[in-house]
């Protein structure tokens, strides 16, 4: 198991949800920009790596018990999504990296 707070030790990642989510743990990640595919294949409570910034993303995260969503390529979570994530206790992390770069970074830092 890995901790979200370890991801945040790198300056490429910024937590935008409340701080109490940083102690959440994860086993794997799933990168996808199609939420129906995430619903079908998002097993073992992975972190979702995506470019989709919507309240629907938080709904999927709740349904699948995902600990966090990483929004890539300098996309920004909107206020409504952040508010819903805080209510549902889902960590939201923003990065300028691409999905592939996030996965490679996590592997390089032994966080995957």
pLDDT tens-digit series, residues 31-80: 999 888 898 887 888 999 999 999 999 999 999 999 999 999 999 999 99
Tell me what pLDDT residue 98 has: 98
Tell me what pLDDT residue 41 has: 85
Q: Can you give the pTM of this predicted structure?
A: 0.95
DSSP string, 2-58: EEHHHHTTSTTEEE-S-GGGGG-EES-EEE-S-HHHHHHH--SSPEEEES--SHHHH
Tell me what pLDDT residue 43 has: 81
For residue 88, what is the domain's CATH number? 3.40.1390.20
Tell me what pLDDT residue 26 has: 94
Domains in the chain, number: 1
Buried b / exposed e along 92-104 (16+ C-beta atoms within 10 A): bbbbebebeebbe
Q: What is the mean pLDDT of residues 88-104?
A: 97
Q: What angle do CA 105, 3, 45 make, to 5 degrees?
A: 90
> Residue 31 CB: number of other CB atoms within 10 A?
18
Spatial separation of the C-alpha atoms in residues 78 and 63, rounded to whole Å: 20
Q: What is the mean pLDDT of residues 1-18?
A: 95
**Structural domain for 91, as ranges:** 2-108
């Amino acid at each position: 198991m890995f901790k979200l707070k370890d991801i945040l030790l790198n300056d490429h990642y910024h937590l935008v949800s409340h701080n109490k989510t940083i102690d959440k743990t994860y086993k794997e990640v799933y990168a996808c920009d199609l939420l129906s595919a995430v619903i079908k294949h998002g097993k073992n409570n992975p972190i979702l790596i995506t470019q989709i910034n919507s309240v629907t993303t938080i709904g999927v995260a709740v349904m699948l018990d995902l600990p966090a969503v990483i929004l890539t390529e300098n996309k920004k979570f909107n206020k409504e999504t952040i508010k819903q994530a805080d209510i549902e206790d889902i960590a939201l992390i923003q990065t300028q990296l691409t999905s592939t770069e996030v996965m490679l970074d996590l592997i390089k830092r032994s966080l995957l």
